[in-house]
Amino acid sequence: MQYVYSFGSGNADGKAEMKNLLGGKGANLAEMNHLGIPVPPGFTITTDVCTYYYKNDLVFPENLKNQIEDSLKSTEAIMNSSFGDKKNPLLLSVRSGARKSMPGMMETVLNVGLTNNTIPGLITKTGNPRFVYDAYRRLITMYADVVMEKAAGIEPLEGQGIRQKLEQILDLFKKENGLKNDTDLSGDQLQKIAEEYKKEIKNTLGSNFPDDPSVQLWGGIEAVFKSWNGARAISYRKIENIPDEWGTAVNVQAMVFGNMGENSATGVAFTRNPATGENKFYGEWLANAQGEDVVAGLRTPNPLNEATKTSDTEHLPSLELSMPELYSKLAKIRINLENHYKDMQDIEFTIQEGRLWMLQTRVGKRNGVAAIKMAVDMATHGMINKKTALMRVQPEQLDELLHPMLDPESESKATFLAKGLPAGPGGATGRLVFNADDAETWHNRGEKVILLREETSPEDVHGMHAAVAILTAKGGMTSHAALVARGWGKCCIVGCGSLHINLDKKEVNIGNAVLKEGDWITMNGTLGKIYQGQLDLIPSNPENHEEYKQLMTWADEVRKLKIRTNAETPNDAKQAIQFGAQGIGLCRTEHMFFDEDRILAIRKMILANNVQDRRSAVMELLPYQKQDFMGILKAMEGLPVTIRLLDPPLHEFITLTNEQIEELADHVNLEKSAVEKRINGLHELNPMLGHRGCRLGIAYPEITEMQARAILEAAAELTRTGTVVLPEIMIPLVGTVTEFVDQERIVRATAKDVYEETGIEFDYLVGTMIELPRACLTADEIAEQADFFSFGTNDLTQTTYGFSRDDIGSFLPDYLDRRILTHDPFQSLDINGVGKLVTMAVQSGRGINSKLKIGICGEHGGDPASINFCMENGLDYVSCSPFRVPIARLAAAQATLDL
């Protein structure tokens, strides 16, 4: 069995496809050899060894030692030096490398091979004692920390480990000697420090730092394998769902040094610009430095080339001009790698005494704008095909184009105040106001305001509309504020528990800050972060973004799932059509009742003592509702519009102050106490499970009749003027087929009347929202009667989990932190639980009624993972808020490609 795969000098036992065996790093090191790219030689110990090691009580396979010795010989041969050799010693690095990158989660030991025996030789060879003792000091520190402390079975408290103790020695030495930086230390001084280190190690850990290169190497290898089961690695694997069985590989490589003088250097680069996607070689480098120096930020790194210089960096030396030949070699490698991997690469290189070495190549991370540009560019130039291009962009990354974003530069320097749930993406900056009326007033006088509320209710909607962003102390990702804000594509953070609002003073405590009305704050709605003051924003402009438009066209060519939107005004509808919506999947009707003239009719209805009065109150709303539906149906001409009948419990319409109660009592000619009694009678302990949905329409059939008539009369009138309408009337919260039949009967009878009265016929559907477990369990019965199902997965998630969206804030964050839940089930569909109900309902519904139209209109309609699930389950469409329509279009295309 081959446990060790050598590489170097253009040869390699492995290749890129062997990631499972060699880990990502090892496979790519092998592959670069095949591509003729210079890589420090070495070998990869396979993940099989890791698995063997854990299966066999931490013992390595028998012939591993021989194989390593053989490989080491090849490395020595290529490097023309020997490991442990007195005169010409080879130094090695020992690094982890798992199948999937686990950055920083496992251990590394560098400079392995430095001993009292080899140090003099290396000094002679390099002529640089300072370099050698610095490397020695680093080796001791790493080795003590990574290998020896763990081997001694010591688990120090946070910040009190051997590494910190050694650093204290260093700090003390510098202080005593009046030195500021590590670079101020001479070789002699570093030698003394190394000796002190070794004493401290003996004292603290009870054993000597090993002076045997072979012991160091095996110690390093074993430490890396052991770190696969370190606490950090385990918890990272849990989060990323990486199986424990995979194991890590270990890469042992000849050390190369970028800090061996002015003809040495080190750098990191991307084959294209990861922030813009521009096809320019982009990176940073430092002369006479080690890799970590570029990242650490102690020295300002230089731009790689002239073309990518900015006003900030134009005075700095580029590698292109400083080392033109090496740069040109690097640039060729860049082309070589991109042509080979057909994707933007993130690379690390070191130049040792004028010789270029590549240390790493991997697919580079990129932001959304860059992802789109690169994918479309590469596809346009034939480097990849369209399908690959579509798979290269994460749907969520489109958000960056659809919303203004915080300028990262500005954000990095800002004063952080608090974190909440990221309910509406994008960035926003504005002045704090504490109620909806103030928001409107300030907005009207030209101010940008952020509306801050404990939580919002339908009565805050005008203020929410006036505000540039919404911030609440309570509520979850599907609370009222979150839903409304996402519908408008507005920046919104909810459930920010560290806000303590004093409404009387118009003041809020956030963390340690106290902010007053009019104070500026800035919100990153994508991350849920709140900052003090006014930060810079980067505007959104998708319609001018050619690559975006191109990608979306490709997506539409591929996808099979239709994308609708959740919208309840003609403006929302138009916006959604611009974003590519193919219909309305959920038009809620309850918000239409909150206008001043309408709410009174609703309240009269609620207070009516008999059917006649109730009926006449409800019918006052008919002309308004008809206008509402005319507007929406017209805006969506030729596209289907699913309109949900009244859903929320009635008490939402009659939450009144004492004064308002008096006024209303006057108006309807009732005793105040009678009004109060009725309001109290509507109080429910668990309104979410109370008298709402179709239960309202069953108790008050005149509401259903009025709404059906408004929709159908609007449809008739538009049909008469030649507008094609496709209304789909949706009965909410059906739990038994008898409920559906009761309500359907009213709708169909009303349609018959409208047909007869107007003489105009048009198509319409009657269907139901499937949002209760029982509806899923009896979907066959319901499907026999219904034209369509629309899964209301918000409510379905609530009842399946028994989680109230409004109250989940008290435990959900903790659940996520502790991995009791891997994700918020209101954001991404719980496929294992809720998904089973959906699958069951689709199968049994279609089993009875093969023509059943099926969609989803919960918030999950805009979530890529959930869209994938919908596609697999054969749904006809998903419906989401307008600003998520593009995301859904791309996700639907990817789901099709994934099948």
Q: Which residues would be at the binding site for a second copy (CB under 8 A)?
A: 684-691, 693, 695, 698-699, 733, 735-736, 738-739, 742, 771-774, 777-778, 795, 798-804, 806-808, 810-811, 814-815, 818-821, 830, 832-834, 836-837
Q: Left (φ > 0), alpha (ψ -120 to 50) or beta: where does 111 sit?
A: left
Q: Of 749, 787, 796, 746, which is closest to residue 768 (Cα–Cα)?
A: 787
Residue 603 belongs to what H/E stretch?
helix 596-607
CA distances in angstroms from 164 to 142, 171, 182, 249, listed in the order given: 11, 10, 16, 28
Is the separation of the CB atoms in 401 and 542 below 8 Å?
yes
CB of 816 to a second copy, least distance (A): 11
Q: Three-class SS string for 131-154? A: HHHHHHHHHHHHHHHHHHHHHCCC
Is the separation of the CB atoms in 287 and 262 below 8 Å?
yes
Sequence-ordered alpha helix ranges (H) in 206-265? 213-227, 231-240
Q: Smaller CB distance to a second copy: residue 199 or 238?
A: 238
Residue 791 DSSP one-character state: E
Q: Smaller CB distance to a second copy: residue 34 or 695?
A: 695
Task: Tell me the three state secondary structure of residue 841.
Answer: helix
Q: Which long-range contacts (CB under 8 A, 24 or more apart) does 676-683 make?
A: 678/606, 678/607, 678/654, 679/651, 679/654, 682/606, 682/649, 682/650, 682/651, 682/654, 683/651
CA contacts within 13 A on the Cβ side of 401: 31
Number of helices (H) and strands (E) in the chain: give both, helices first.
Answer: 37, 34
Q: Smaller CB distance to a second copy: residue 345 or 799?
A: 799
Residue 449 belongs to what H/E stretch?
strand 449-453
Please state the φ and ψ torsions of residue 502, each to the nearest 5 degrees: -115, 100
Distance CA 211, CA 519 (A): 63
Burial 166-202 (b: 16+ CB within 10 A, else e): beeebeebbeeeeeeeeeebeeebbbebbeebbebbe
Distance CA 731, CA 860 (A): 20
Return the structure tokens found at 105: 């989660």
Q: Smaller CB distance to a second copy: residue 795 or 863?
A: 795
Distance CA 559, CA 896 (A): 6
Pairing relationship of beta strands 640-644 and 584-587 according to DSSP bridges: parallel
Burial 600-623 (b: 16+ CB within 10 A, else e): bbbbbbbbbeeeeebbebbebbbe
The Cβ of residue 838 has, within 10 Å, a number of other Cβ atoms equal to 29
Distance CA 715, CA 373 (A): 43
CB of 814 to a second copy, least distance (A): 6
Distance CA 868, CA 484 (A): 25
Q: Smaller CB distance to a second copy: residue 73 or 238?
A: 238
User: In angstroms, how far is the first alpha carbon of the chain from the final one?
Assistant: 37
Return the structure tokens found at 395: 């749907």
Task: Tell me the three state secondary structure of residue 423.
Answer: strand
What type of residue is 794? Answer: N
Positions marked catalytic? 480, 857
Identify any residues that bridge with 788 across adjacent strands, giving them in sequence order.
853
Q: Of 707, 791, 775, 689, which is closest to residue 740 (Cα–Cα)?
A: 775
Is the separation of the CB atoms in 682 and 649 below 8 Å?
yes
Residue keyed to tokens 């005004």: 569
Residue 250 belongs to what H/E stretch?
strand 248-254
